[in-house]
Amino acid sequence: MPDYVFFNGEFSPPEEAKISVFDHGFLYGDGIFETMRAYDGRIFLLGEHLDRLFRSAQDLELKIPYTGEELTEALRQTISLNGQNLLIRLTVSRGPGPAGIDPRLCPKPTVVITSRESGYNERFYTEGAKALFVKTLRNLAGATRPDIKSMNFLNNILAKIETNRAGADEGFMLNHLGQVTEGTVSNLFIVRNGNLATPALEAGLLEGITRHKVIVLAREEGITVEEQMLLKNDFYTADELFYTNSGSEIVPVAVLDGRRVGSGRPGEMTLKLLKLYRNATRQ
């Protein structure tokens, strides 16, 4: 439990930070968020996270009552109060208002920053994670705008329930055409013949901040990276497989749908990219 949370301009102990029961984030999942990680007092890729937050807000006609500079200062104070190595969530909900989904009912958004101490599940990096393809399909891209990092996570929650029931670490989701999209909380990559491939955004997935950074790092190393439509069989026959997000960074997958991936251990390229990524967080 963190020492303090930021709530609408003030820092307070967590038990004193309370939202209204009429907040439309609570009632309808109407809001956006960013999850980011602080390393030794600095938030990695902060600018990219804030840019996406403001893009999402613009698309939802949600006016954030703080500038990027003011949010940056609030995040800096969060680190000062709660610790140097944190997983931080910045949430902006539509705010309180009368019942009804019309955004115009809520004149004042709710802005919250919470945090917890960050860490690693070392099993992922020594043995590799277990994953499966879930039956829950990814929401149709034209219906829910996967490029908006929304608080409405029912689709992912249903997929996570399947993942938990199977005793797996992560669930991979297909779209209505049978193309691979993303994990419940991650972006996906495969390694084939020394090259890297990841599902194209057109398949219907969120363009993760970590996903983009991995692509940049790989290309700087001369590794070919392709964003393309991928199917289940591409993953079953991959030499290596990993998933990415800000909290876990790069996670090797050793088993997919009960099948061994490659050697059944974290792969050489995956570990190389993980090292490059962690080096980048320290720069």
68-86 CB burial, b ≥16 within 10 A, e <16? eeebeebbeebbeebbeeb
Catalytic one of 130, 149, 160, 213 = 149
149 is catalytic: yes
CA nearest to 234, candidates 160, 133, 139: 133
What are the structural domains of the chain? 5-117 (3.30.470.10), 122-281 (3.20.10.10)
Contacts of 97 by beta carbon, 8 Å cutoff, 6+ apart: 22, 24, 105, 106, 107
pLDDT at position 170, please? 98
pLDDT at 2 over 70: no
How do residues 14-65 score in pLDDT, each as one tens digit?
999 999 999 999 999 999 999 999 999 999 999 999 999 999 999 999 999 9
Question: Are the C-beta atoms of residues 255 and 261 closer than 8 Å to each other?
Answer: yes
What's the average model confidence in pLDDT over 64-73? 98
pLDDT at 3 over 90: no
CA distance 118 to 213: 20
**Residue 87: exposure state from Cβ atoms within 10 A (0-12, 13-18, ≥19):** middle
pLDDT band for position 283 (cuts 50, 70, 90): confident
pTM: 0.95
CA distance 33 to 267: 32
Q: Name the 3-class secondary structure at 266.
A: coil
CA nearest to 208, candidates 227, 222, 224: 227
